[in-house]
Every structure is written in structure tokens, then in C-alpha cells.
């Protein structure tokens, strides 16, 4: 491939904290299928690479997705080795060092969609891809912390130890709207020029710019508690995913 926008969806079979996380049903739809549907419904994405160590996972996700929408884009299977799919291998390192150039060339743009952030907006994703192309920049999705970091503390023998010397818990300035906003990266998307990835990027954020997304787009499934909470609200976003 050359000069394409390629959605890259990595999902492995060996999740530990939540067994079979990437194929668990969220509002009746396998978790990874949320990302595949988003890729299919985003006009600027040309094709999709599903990257996993499991043939069964790949077949399951494609089959289940077809029951919800027609798959209108080419789907490619990037079969990762057990070592490349282990928790010891960072997905960025795999993309940089091991992802085949026959699947994603240096001239392509890779749009990484992590399955664990299923509530992304296709409209936001389309806007981010357009901005990346216009500004010639790599982008990563970023979401505001849902509580001001100035309130952060740790437990201690005296009760608590504030992170900051001017903590509102010490000063009494507890009006959160007066405190500085901070953001963190999330798994909704990373938009990367593969020429940069393979030549000079040391991390997925190296030289990249943040693109602000909503709190729900930044929600991430990592633990059973995360899954239970997100499954309780997933029907709302399922409707948006299929009909936006």
C-alpha cells in the first residue's frame, strides 16, 4: 500500500486482568468490533488492518461485525507472533520495528484505534484525520481529567499527603473551576505518518500534537469494574455508532 489512511486495530488474546477482554460483548457487540465499525464508517479511512495473535479472534470479530453493518472496506490480517502480542511488547514498538511494510508502507498514515476505547465519535475521528493532513502533523487523542489534579493526594500515616504545596485541601480554595485544567492521552485514536514512526519517533507522542475529545470518548476498559460501568451505558453509544 502507498499513500493510504489505514486503520490499525491491535487486539490480543492474552489479556489478564479481564479475560478475553477484546472479544467480550459490550451491548451485544464484541469490544473490538466497535473499533472496526468506526473504521468502516469513517470516510477518510481507506482500509483496515486487524492485528492479533489469534485466528479465532480475527474470524470472530469479522463475522460478528458483519451482523451489524456491511463491511465496506478491505480488511487485512496482521498475524502477530506470541512474543509480539505479549504484554512485554509495547504496541508502538511493534508498529515501528515489526509491522510489515507490505501492509503499511512509509508513505501511509496509520490511524491506531485501541479496542478498549469503544465510544469514539466517527465525526471527531474524521475531523482529526483532516486536521492531520492539512497541518501535516501526527495527532493523539487527549481528554481532560474529570477532576482537577490540584486536589490529588496520597494516603499517609497522618491521613493524607497532598501532591501540591498549594493544594486546595490545605488552602481552602476548593472552587474547582478556578483550578488549572490538565489532560491525558487516551486510546480513541493516534494518527501517525509512518515515515516519521520508522525514522525518528521514539514514542507514540514524540513530536505529536493533542486533539481534544470528549470524556466519554476517552473512557477506557481495563478492569472488570470498567467493563461493568461501560456496559451499563453502552446502548447509547451503540446507537450513535451505527446511525451517525
For the domain that residue 72 is a member of, what is the CATH number? 3.90.550.10
Please report the pLDDT score of residue 137 as a whole number. 97
Residues 67 and 158 in one domain: no
Tally the domains of the chain.
2
pTM beyond cutoff 0.75: yes
Residues 211 and 112 in one domain: yes
Residues 160 and 222 in one domain: no
Residues 177 and 188 in one domain: no
- Residue ending a domain, among 181, 201, 231, is 181
Coil, helix or strand at residue 202: coil
Residues 102 and 155 in one domain: no
Residue among 73, 96, 71, 59 at smallest CA distance from 192: 96
**Average pLDDT of span 224-241:** 94
Residues 96 and 9 in one domain: yes
Residues 28 and 117 in one domain: yes
Residues 15 and 126 in one domain: yes
Please report the pLDDT score of residue 203 as a whole number. 96
Structural domain that includes position 168: 146-181
Residue among 241, 238, 239, 122 at smallest CA distance from 189: 122
Cell readout for 14 is 492474552
pLDDT in tens, 168-216: 999 999 998 889 999 999 999 999 999 999 999 999 999 999 999 999 9
Coil, helix or strand at residue 15: coil
Residues 150 and 122 in one domain: no
Go through the chain and tell me how many residues it has.
244
Share of the chain above pLDDT 90, in %: 86
Residues 112 and 205 in one domain: yes
**Average pLDDT of span 111-136:** 97
Residues 158 and 75 in one domain: no
Residue among 187, 192, 190, 228 at smallest CA distance from 26: 228
Q: Are 144 and 181 in contact (CB under 8 A)?
A: yes
Residue among 136, 127, 137 at smallest CA distance from 209: 137
Residues 62 and 127 in one domain: yes
Amino acid at each position: 500500500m502507498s499513500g493510504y489512511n489505514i486503520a490499525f486495530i491491535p487486539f490480543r488474546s492474552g489479556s489478564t486482568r479481564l479475560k478475553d477482554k477484546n472479544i467480550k460483548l459490550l451491548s451485544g457487540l464484541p469490544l473490538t468490533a466497535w473499533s472496526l465499525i468506526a473504521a468502516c464508517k469513517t470516510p477518510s479511512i481507506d482500509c483496515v488492518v486487524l492485528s492479533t495473535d489469534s485466528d479465532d479472534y480475527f474470524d470472530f470479530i469479522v463475522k460478528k461485525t458483519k451482523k451489524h453493518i456491511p463491511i465496506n472496506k478491505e480488511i487485512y490480517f496482521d498475524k502477530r507472533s506470541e512474543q509480539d502480542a505479549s504484554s512485554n511488547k509495547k504496541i508502538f514498538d511493534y508498529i515501528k520495528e515489526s509491522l510489515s511494510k507490505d501492509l503499511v508502507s512509509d508513505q501511509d498514515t496509520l490511524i491506531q484505534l485501541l479496542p478498549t476505547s469503544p465510544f469514539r465519535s466517527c465525526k471527531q475521528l474524521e475531523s482529526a484525520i483532516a486536521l492531520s493532513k492539512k497541518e501535516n502533523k501526527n495527532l493523539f487523542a487527549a481528554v481532560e481529567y474529570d477532576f482537577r489534579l490540584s486536589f490529588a493526594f496520597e494516603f499517609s500515616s497522618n491521613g493524607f499527603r497532598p501532591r501540591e504545596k498549594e493544594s486546595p485541601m490545605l488552602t481552602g480554595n476548593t472552587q474547582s473551576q478556578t483550578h488549572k485544567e490538565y489532560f491525558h492521552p487516551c486510546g480513541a485514536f493516534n494518527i501517525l505518518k509512518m515515515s516519521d514512526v520508522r525514522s525518528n519517533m521514539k514514542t507514540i507522542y514524540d513530536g505529536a500534537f493533542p486533539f481534544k475529545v470528549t470524556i466519554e470518548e476517552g473512557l477506557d476498559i481495563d478492569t472488570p469494574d470498567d467493563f461493568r460501568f461501560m456496559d451499563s451505558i453502552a446502548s447509547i453509544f451503540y446507537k450513535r455508532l451505527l446511525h451517525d
